[in-house]
Structure 1
């Protein structure tokens, strides 16, 4: 076994498969055929002398050996990318932090934290990417992001089954709310009773298996009438403002509601809590990553204590 013969292409393929969760998705991201991805994985596993991926129904996950290889591969690939930038005359990205965030975090929490960070630490560059929570967990494991803002709902299970566990901190925990048009009969109350949700027209997001997004109140005891579907939170809220239906929103999104929308609590059923988590891979923090994490925690505290 001579692992020094492994190619950069194989390392990039391994990272893409680990991040995307399937050979098919990795092939689409890289512009390869699925068979080409399979050949690259077979070659690196042959050189490693051990399986690097565990094939499971619905996708793959890293084996312990795979985690070791990917951790080292991320360093190699980052150094190669840095060398390419330097040779092309582009400035080095010293102090760059890669941050992932789930959709609604980008409405209030993320811009608040980044605005403060620009004042306190202007030398730090934050590169962000939006994604669903499952996709961002894979990106953390693959070393593609340093930090991730993630969403969590009861029963608040671990983010994945990998070991060692990700380092996770709860930034906020708030009740799920309801967004209704200002002219809606429900809008004239201080709260909505869960019984009043029957017979409403809902604005929700398309379902996508594990990446299903919110829209209809959880546990509704009837088949909901879906009036409109939209992935974008702002689009859903503007549809509400136009009087075209109602939708659920995390409590943290209330400050971003446009004119014509009322955000109300719901009572009479189980409390629907939602958490915003800040996650990272286990291990020591670099100073830039620690400073970005601190800015996010501070912004979350400020939002929680705002009137």
Structure 2
């Protein structure tokens, strides 16, 4: 299966249009049509309906595999590129919002830049999945990602090929809620007692609601409001205004919200470093600092 044809198929399926996919990929519409026809001939089945442009049942099955296949190919290319030696002088890092706000990263960068004078640092703050995929695809030397997990478990990560993870830090979690919320005076609370509460789904900032549902083994914990941004201050403002609850590390909260320590189930907020073969000297130095005691 030609990966170029597969990328075209994914673009058409995501755009719902041959012309829009052509614009995204920089191809002519005729070239996109030829790619899809060649892929359908190779697999021996129609993959897309034309009016409207939607995947067939076999096409849906292919889409389930396509993202992971293309990411692994990008990861392989990046790994080979890293093995040849990256150009020195620039350190590119991606971090999820809470990981970027952790003072350990700023302090570690200070130490690395002091030891390796002249290093230019490019820091990109983005969602957790974008961090993992960007490091796997070679867009960034390193990624710093956060999430929630049981004390004995590592973070559940996306399918990112052969990336390595290094533990950086962990912290207890709290439930953040409006100051006038009936539960605001509690010292500790069980997540099971909040299954039917109003929740804010902020998957790139707070503990993702699917993780909380898995921890409580329930279909509850449903969002009253969804926040798709990466700004922690905006999430706290929504909580303070009474739009819902969120689970966060205590260090990420502020005086505008009340916090109650999460007692059960036992969960921790973890920060981990994602990296491949850190051949770039500054990347290797930063990895050593962040993974140290």
What's the TM-score, normalizing by structure 2?
0.63
* Residue of structure 1 equivalent to 2:225: 228
Q: Does 1:248 align with 2:244?
A: no
Cα deviation, residue 108, structure 1? 2.7
| Rounded Cα–Cα distance in structure 1 between residues aligned with 2:281 and 2:33 | 36
* Residue of structure 2 equivalent to 1:150: 145
* Residue of structure 1 equivalent to 2:184: 187
| Stretches of structure 2 lacking an aligned partner (at least 5 in a row) | 16-20, 39-61
Question: Could you say if the C-alpha distance between residues 246 and 115 of structure 1 is closer, same or farther in structure 2, counting changes exceeding 3 Å?
Answer: farther
| Rounded Cα–Cα distance in structure 1 between residues aligned with 2:33 and 2:141 | 25
Cα deviation, residue 147, structure 1? 0.6
Aligned residue pairs, count: 243
| Rounded Cα–Cα distance in structure 2 between residues aligned with 1:197 and 1:59 | 37
Q: Is the 8 A contact 1:151 1:274 kept in 2?
A: yes
Q: Secondary structure at the match of 2:144?
A: strand
| Stretches of structure 1 lacking an aligned partner (at least 5 in a row) | 1-12, 43-54, 80-93, 302-307
What's the TM-score, normalizing by structure 1?
0.61
Question: Over residues 96-139 of structure 1, what are the superposed CA-to-partner deviations in whole Å (9 max), with x where a residue is unaligned?
Answer: 11111123212234445445555565522111223333333332
Of 102, 111, 118, the residue aligned with 1:108 is: 102
Question: Over residues 174-223 of structure 1, what are the superposed CA-to-partner deviations in whole Å (9 max), with x where a residue is unaligned?
Answer: 3432112233332222212334314422222379xxx9962584337464
* Residue of structure 1 equivalent to 2:199: 202
Q: Does 1:214 align with 2:211?
A: no
What is the correspondence of 1:59-208 to structure 2 with a 5 Å cutoff? 59-60=66-67, 61=69, 70-72=78-80, 94-109=88-103, 110-114=105-109, 117=112, 121-154=116-149, 156=154, 160=159, 162=161, 165-205=162-202
Question: Could you say if the C-alpha distance between residues 122 and 201 of structure 1 is closer, same or farther in structure 2, counting changes exceeding 3 Å?
Answer: farther
Q: Does 1:32 align with 2:39?
A: no
